[in-house]
Structure 1
Amino acid sequence: MDGFRQQELNIIDPSFPDTGTIGIVPPVNRYLLGSEYHAPQTTRISAGIDQGLAKVIRVAATYSYQRGSELSRGLNLNIPVNGLRPNPAFGNIAEVVSDAASRQHQLHVDANVNPGALLPAFNGPRISWKRTTVFLNYTLASLRNNMDGPFSIPATGDLAAEWGFAPTDVRHRLNAAFNNQVIRNVLVSLNVNANTAGAYTLLTGRDDNGDGVFNDRPAGVGRDTLRAGGQTTVNLMVGYQFAIGRNATPLPPGIGVFGGGGAAQVRTFDQGSARYRLMVFVQAQNLTNQANYLGYSGTLTSPFFGRPTTVSGMRKIDLGIGLNF
């Protein structure tokens, strides 16, 4: 947006819903790509361990440190001085510069329990507890930076004062999956996803420094010091498979790759002798109808301050039929 072919205007306190006449047209904003712009750089160091336990359990853990440098952020070249802009023909002139940074620490742990059977199973005993698999994934992470995007102008203009949690910083994430076919032809899959809250920023709701950007924070308050609500989702699928007809010639053993907790395992499995397989299933997303709130407002002057403005993942139930041949 160069301020000529495409223009952006700042209208302070417009009427709503009809803005009426603008009157005196305020100076337009301009966005530039700095001459010293560089592509962002990422340096990553990681170490991990993968260990099998008691033949049916596998555990893996990985720690990683990631350093981002020369990240893009906006630099205002036309900051008002004593209420007057150096270039009165424009409002803000935001130049993309490459001097921001980020730091991330992450510990990721995987575990799976597999007594020996790959799912789905088409032959074998009617009931077998070996036809069960359990996956667990847990992530502990911390992500900090001093930017919110390539054209985002820092509220203070001082990168040191902008250092804080990133909006995408989520401290804990957990995923658990339980799949079983204890009763042959009956497939049950349960999945649980949970994570703690992301970060958002406390804002005054006013343009305290007169630069036309409403990202000002109260004195002494850093970026992303508030936390939204955590989220939890439980999904369930139950299906029954009917075997129809028989193949004229037996099928060779199938090959399955079993992963999820470190090194993958390759195993063979019986593909069965049925010519067709009909699966009838019911699937529930967000089985408990947990309200996962989003869009928290950190603006002090907003009636929605500290409250979510949207909710996601309402319960959904699907009935379906699948045919394999």
Structure 2
Amino acid sequence: MSIAVPSRRIAGRCLFCQPLQIRPRIQHQQQRTAASNPGNGDDEPRQSNPVLDAYKIKHGVEPSKPAPQQMPKAGDLSASSIFEDDRRMQSQRQELTPSEEDVPETSKVQIGGVDRDAENMANVLDPDPNARERWERKKVIQMVRKGGRLNAQQMIKRTEREHLVRSHNMKTSVKKLGMLARQISGKTLEDAITQMRFSKKRVAQEVLKQLQYARDEAVVMRGMGLGAVEAKEGAHILNDATPAATNVPTTSVLAPTFTEEQKSGPVQIQLKDGKRHLVTDASKIYIDQAWVGRGPFGKLPDYRARGRVYIMRTPWTSLSVLLKEEKTRVRLHEEREEKRRKKILDNVWTHLPDRPVQWQRQWYAF
């Protein structure tokens, strides 16, 4: 198809055949003026502020100083450190201010080498004095009514020692730690330590450390296991369980149930499970109970095929141990023997009393 138009007209109207006009870019230059108000062309003086002028005259035009950075506090020692008490006393003496020195001496109480405020301690330790006085009054009335007599449980608490220790959470399961707890339960403390020392279980070494710690704590805090030492050196240590500390008269009721001949020599008793046991020292420590407690669960990734990741729950378990002395087992043995003897004697048939028969007749009716 053709168009009836001259070719010169088509060529003249073609835009690609005309030259393009290129305009050069002029770089923008920023201009600054010395006017007092750049935003406004009028150089009018600004209004004066008398308060600001007085502040500048008084304090000068120096920039404000930044607040001094607080020095970081030195790290603290562990509560079980042997240097903790001395360090705390030194820090408190250095931080003592004149305002604290003006406090009267009557309100200060020194506990463990540390000065404390009696009023602040009373607010925490004795928040309700009226309730405490009512409770003390009730207990005094009960003691007067009973005539100072103690029941069986109170007598046992005053004459026998015991100590409970709970360990930290160990990275093991309840089933695995329960086997070791049943293994050491009922054994003397030395035998249990020997068992854990040569055990092949991985957690047995942690149990060994806890038993050694429990032994040291029982000796220091409760005075347990010192019967042989006191008998040899003739020392008398007052603690919470001795009659001198509890103001209980040393009568035959408080004396041990075994005789004086049995005190010096070994005593053979029968345990609850029927086994025979030889007691050579009444103050020897043994494990009366041992049980486990379930702790929190941890999280551990389990990487599988095809980029899958599962979360495993790792168990944590604690071990609790109740320590007692051998005199407790001797008392329990004698209680069982007395109960068994009483049960046998109550069922024995006894003859009729030997006395004359009154109103004897040939017939049964009188």
Q: TM-score range by the shorter chain?
A: under 0.3
Q: Which has the larger radius of gyration?
A: 2
| Structure with the higher fraction of residues in helix conformation | 2
| TM-score computed with the length of structure 1 as normaliser | 0.17
Which structure's relative contact order is higher, taking Cα pairs within 8 Å and 6+ residues apart? Answer: 2
| Structure with the higher fraction of residues in strand conformation | 1
